[in-house]
Amino acid sequence: MTTGQPVDPRSQVSPRRPGGNRAPRPRRGIGLPRVTPTRIFLFVALAGSLAYLAWAITVRDPSQLPMLAAGAAVLGLVFTAIALAGAIEVVRAGRRGEGGRSFAAALFGGIAGIIALGCFAAATVFAILS
C-alpha cells in the first residue's frame, strides 16, 4: 500500500543487511586509482607505442616515414581508447554522485581525445609524405 509519500531510500531494508538500513558508504576521496585489466592494457599499449615511435625517430632510411605514420596511428588509437575510458568513467562517477571524479575524468578524457586527433593528423601527414 502506498501513501503517495516519497520513499527515503535509506529507510528501506537492504538485501545485504536484512536486519536494518544500509551501511553508509565510506568516503573514497581521490586516492590512487584501482588497478584493472583495462588500465594495465592501456598502459602497456601506451608504453609500447611510445617506445616504437621513439625508435622510429632514430631510424635513418627510406622506411622512416611509413614507420612514423604507423606509430602515430597506433598512438592515436591508444589515446582514443583512453578518451573512451574517460567518457565511461564520467558517466559512472556521475551516477554515483562523485562530481569531482566525474569532472577530472572528463578533463583527462578530453585531453586524451585532443592528443588522439593530433596523432591521427600526424599519421596522415607522414603517410602523405611517404
State whether residue 12 is helix, strand or coil: coil
Mean pLDDT of 99-109: 90
Element (H, E) at 66: helix 64-96
Residue 35 confidence (pLDDT): 82
Beta-carbon contacts of 11 under 8 Å, excluding residues fewer than 6 positions away, are: 21
Q: What is the pLDDT of residues 33-45, one digit of tens each?
A: 678 888 899 899 9
Confidence of residue 84 (pLDDT cuts 50, 70, 90): very high
Confidence of residue 101 (pLDDT cuts 50, 70, 90): confident
Cell numbers found for residue 106: 572528463
Residue 6 confidence (pLDDT): 63
Residue 44 confidence (pLDDT): 93
For the chain, give me the number of helices (H) and strands (E)? 3, 0
Residue 114 confidence (pLDDT): 96
Residue 109 confidence (pLDDT): 94
Measured CA to CA, the distance from residue 129 to residue 49 in angstroms comes to 21
With cell 571524479, the residue in question is 101
Residue 28 confidence (pLDDT): 59
Average pLDDT value over all residues in the chain: 82
Q: What is the pLDDT of residues 46-83, one digit of tens each?
A: 999 999 999 988 888 888 889 999 999 999 999 999 99
Q: Which residue has the higher pLDDT, 105 or 24?
A: 105
Give the residue from 61, 54, 78, 82 showing the smallest Cα distance to 130. 61
Measured CA to CA, the distance from residue 7 to residue 15 in angstroms comes to 17
